[in-house]
Amino acid sequence: MPSRADLESLDRADPLARFRDLFALPEGVIYLDGNSLGAQPRQTAARLAEVVEREWGRDLITSWNRNGWIDYPARLGGKVARLIGADADEVLVCDTTSINLFKALTAALDQRPDRRVILADRANFPSDLYIAEGLARRRPDATVRLVEETELAGAIDDSVAVVTLTQVNYKTGYLHDMAALTRAAHEAGALVVWDLAHSAGALPIDLNGAGADYAVGCGYKYLNGGPCAPAFLYVARRHQAKIDPPLPGWLGHAEPFAFDTDYRPAEGMRRNLCSMPSILASAALEVGLDLMLDAGIYALRTKSLALTETFIRVVERRCPGLFDLATPRDPARRGSQVSLRHPEGYAIVQALIARGVIGDFRAPDILRFGFAPLYLRHTDAFDAAEALAAVMEREEWREDRFRQRALVT
């Protein structure tokens, strides 16, 4: 069990310590929701002002060429690729995670015309399941089969066209073994679409090493791209030429500015684009990505595990028997969050927020604490656990004001 003094020494020796000052974190707040909305890099405001004032205000439409606006999806894709073990020409930054998932699942189903099943983990993020169901409703040849997390590998049989999985479970923080599950799917003749929303920027990912087929992920969580930052899409190079895009917008055309009446897909990855990129959002995401690449994903993972370990240990010592740990104790199976179960989880999270410790709640009973290693200190993990202990000891969560449910939890 670490003492606070031990953690202060860790903070002094932290090779990532300099990054904290590069974020606009309010005084007195311990921000444990970077797994939902990453904190704001200080440089983002200046970069956005530059885009608005100079690129849009002065250079106007010439910015598409002069300031590289048209290249944003591929340029940012190249940066994301370095974080997820992909090559630059296999990733695009565009649209949202759900929309990119629709594209990837459609492509995978098209590649397995003799198979019907989209296999998913029942505990997957609901939007992923809705997208899969929505797709299956439109294809008489397709159906969605849901199984428990632990039954996945055994459920991949020769009816399965594609398996869709989130690498780190959004509620529990459980980390799937990407290489093993991809291998199991391939051995059964199926493809896999990985959702990296809770792993990109939080831990090393090796899509190419695992032989992955498709992947999607968010820009606004650990990548610190800002509210609703664009998402990303990965397609292994070997699949790219086979794709008949389900959303064949003009930017994915071989020659968008030929304004052809007939659609001809671009070579390679670019055919997966639909529309022009959102420029302000892309500019903000680039600031976040550059910080991530500067820090290095291996150093981030080491620190992330130390932070989650500290939090778990202090909570267990200070709140014995009060919570069930929903996150795996085994660090090899843990993402960058700690989730605790308690029937009064919503009110407890609200009481903690009132003390300046921001986490969130996921129904029915999960208190979720994300540990973004880029800007959190080791002492933050300790202090947050102490604040939780205080909320429980004084039963602060019983106050009425902490029980009024807001729309976003």
Ligand X SMILES: Cc1ncc(COP(=O)(O)O)c(C=O)c1O
For the CB of residue 221, give the shortest distance to ligand X in the complex, in Å. 7
Angle 72-84/279-295 helices, nearest 10 degrees?
30
| Selected catalytic residue, list 79, 171, 368, 377 | 368
The strand order across the sheet containing 324-325 reads 324-325, 337-341, 366-370, 360-362
For the CB of residue 198, give the shortest distance to ligand X in the complex, in Å. 6
170 binds ligand X (CB under 6 A): yes
| Selected catalytic residue, list 23, 102, 174, 220 | 220
> How many chain residues are in contact with ligand X, going by CB under 6 A?
13
128 binds ligand X (CB under 6 A): yes
How far CA 42 is from CA of 39, 179, 228, in Å, comes to: 9, 37, 18
175 binds ligand X (CB under 6 A): no
Residue 221 appears among annotated catalytic residues = yes
* Contacting range for ligand X; rule: CB under 6 A; set: 194-202, 332-340, 376-384, 401-409: 194-202
166 binds ligand X (CB under 6 A): yes
Torsion from C-alpha of 363, 367, 373, 374, nearest 10 degrees: 60
Residue 346 appears among annotated catalytic residues = no
302 binds ligand X (CB under 6 A): no
Q: Which is nearer to ligand X, 125 or 311 (CB)?
A: 125
Residue of 175, 218, 295, 351 interacting with ligand X (CB under 6 A): 218
Residue 19 appears among annotated catalytic residues = no
Residue of 63, 97, 282, 336 interacting with ligand X (CB under 6 A): 97
* Contacting range for ligand X; rule: CB under 6 A; set: 41-49, 121-129, 360-368, 401-409: 121-129
The secondary structure of 72-113 as a DSSP string is HHHHHHHHHHHHHT--GGGEEE-S-HHHHHHHHHHHHHHH-T
Residue 220 appears among annotated catalytic residues = yes
> How far apart (Å, rounded) are the C-alpha atoms in residues 401 and 368?
20
| Selected catalytic residue, list 103, 115, 221, 355 | 221
Q: Which is nearer to ligand X, 68 or 134 (CB)?
A: 134
* Contacting range for ligand X; rule: CB under 6 A; set: 10-18, 113-121, 124-132, 266-274: 124-132
> How far apart (Å, rounded) are the C-alpha atoms in residues 409 and 210?
35
Angle among Cα 71, 77, 78 to the nearest 5 degrees reads 95
Residue of closest CB approach to ligand X: 98
164 binds ligand X (CB under 6 A): no
Q: Which is nearer to ligand X, 231 or 291 (CB)?
A: 231
Q: How many CA atoms lie within 13 A of 374 on its CB side?
A: 30
Q: Which is nearer to ligand X, 195 or 286 (CB)?
A: 195
Residue of 22, 29, 43, 96 interacting with ligand X (CB under 6 A): 96
Angle among Cα 223, 226, 228 to the nearest 5 degrees reads 100
> How far apart (Å, rounded) are the C-alpha atoms in residues 286 and 47?
10
For the CB of residue 229, give the shortest distance to ligand X in the complex, in Å. 9
Q: Which is nearer to ligand X, 7 or 84 (CB)?
A: 84
Residue of 25, 82, 123, 127 interacting with ligand X (CB under 6 A): 127
> How far apart (Å, rounded) are the C-alpha atoms in residues 374 and 18?
9
Residue of 118, 191, 192, 197 interacting with ligand X (CB under 6 A): 197
- HEC sequence for 250-295: HHHECCHHHCCCCCCECCHHHHHCCCCCCHHHHHHHHHHHHHHHHH
How far CA 322 is from CA of 344, 345, 395, in Å, comes to: 11, 11, 12
* Residue 121 near residue 155 (C-beta atoms within 8 A): no
30 binds ligand X (CB under 6 A): no
Is 161 exposed, middle or buried, given 0-12, 13-18 or 19+ CB atoms closer than 10 A? buried
Residue 242 appears among annotated catalytic residues = no
* Contacting range for ligand X; rule: CB under 6 A; set: 122-130, 171-179, 302-310, 376-384: 122-130
125 binds ligand X (CB under 6 A): yes
| Selected catalytic residue, list 23, 31, 72, 125 | 125
Beta strands in 100-225 (DSSP E): 117-121, 143-147, 160-166, 191-195, 214-217
Question: Tokens 């780190």, residue?
Answer: 168
Q: Segment 223-262, which members bind ligand X (CB under 6 A)?
A: 231
Kindly give, in sequence order, each residue whose CB lies less than 8 Å from that of residue 242, ignoring residues fewer than 6 positions away: 107, 110, 111
98 binds ligand X (CB under 6 A): yes
Residues in contact with ligand X by CB under 6 A are 96-98, 125, 127-128, 166, 170, 195, 197-198, 218, 231
> Could you give the residue numbers annotated as active site?
125, 195, 220-221, 368
